[in-house]
Amino acid sequence: MLRRVFNLVFCLLILFNLAACSKKSKSEQPITTGFSCGVEVSCNDMNVKGRITRSSAGTLLFEVEEPKTLNGLTMQWDGDSVSLKLFGLSFDVNPENIPQTALARSILNVLDAAVGMHGEGEETKEGLVTKGTASIGEFEILSDSKTGDLLKLRIPSAGLTASFTDFTTEKPS
């Protein structure tokens, strides 16, 4: 009788271990700092293509490629100020003077809000969907569930949708 109980307990332990090993792996959280990527932003009736680089929270470099009239424009947030450059001209702007709904500022606000979010995403067939609220309003980030690479960003209140391509992470120095 004792031997049967021991065998039953032993079998249950093996089953629990197998069940623990077969659990679905946890999804990677969206990468919100330390990356560079191509971006296509659609906001209301405006479409902008370019490249963004983000080294840490509060920082963002947005290099505009299209439309052609803004090709070469760079906007750089360093946490304290915003620097704008175009056609060899450069000037600093107080971040408070830039509207919350401006393209790059909207993306910056959402990425800053998403930095502290962990385990709040929902796995879908497209990837990991993370929803939250930033100063501009509610947002939704779609990221690759295996790598954390950003795929899309939506801010319904601003009418903004961004798609990310050529996502590369910065190597820590």
* Stretch 67-79: mean pLDDT: 90
In a domain, 12, yes or no: no
Q: Which residue has the higher pLDDT, 36 or 7?
A: 36
In a domain, 13, yes or no: no
Looking at residue 39, what is its pLDDT? 96
What pLDDT digit, counting tens, does each position of 94-150 carry? 877 776 567 788 888 899 888 877 667 889 999 999 999 888 899 999 999 999 999
In a domain, 57, yes or no: yes
Q: Are 146 and 159 in contact (CB under 8 A)?
A: no
Per-state percent for the chain, helix, strand, coil, to nearest 5:
25, 45, 35
In a domain, 18, yes or no: no
Compute the distance between CA of residue 109 and CA of residue 58 in angstroms, rounded to an integer: 8
Per-position b or e across 119-140, b if 16+ CB within 10 A of its CB: eebeeeeebbbbeeebebbebe
Whether the predicted pLDDT of 65 surpasses 60: yes
Q: What is the CATH number of the domain that holds 147?
A: 2.50.20.10
Looking at residue 11, what is its pLDDT? 38
Domain extent at residue 102: 25-169
In a domain, 6, yes or no: no
In a domain, 15, yes or no: no
Q: Are 28 and 148 in contact (CB under 8 A)?
A: yes
Name the percent of the chain lying above pLDDT 70: 80
In a domain, 76, yes or no: yes
* Stretch 32-49: mean pLDDT: 92
* Stretch 3-17: mean pLDDT: 42
Number of domains within the chain: 1
Q: Are 77 and 59 in contact (CB under 8 A)?
A: yes
Question: How far out from the chain centre does Cα 13 lie?
Answer: 41
Compute the distance between CA of residue 147 and CA of residue 145 in angstroms, rounded to an integer: 6
Tokens representing residue 84 in the block: 């704008």
- pTM to 2 decimal places: 0.77
In a domain, 130, yes or no: yes
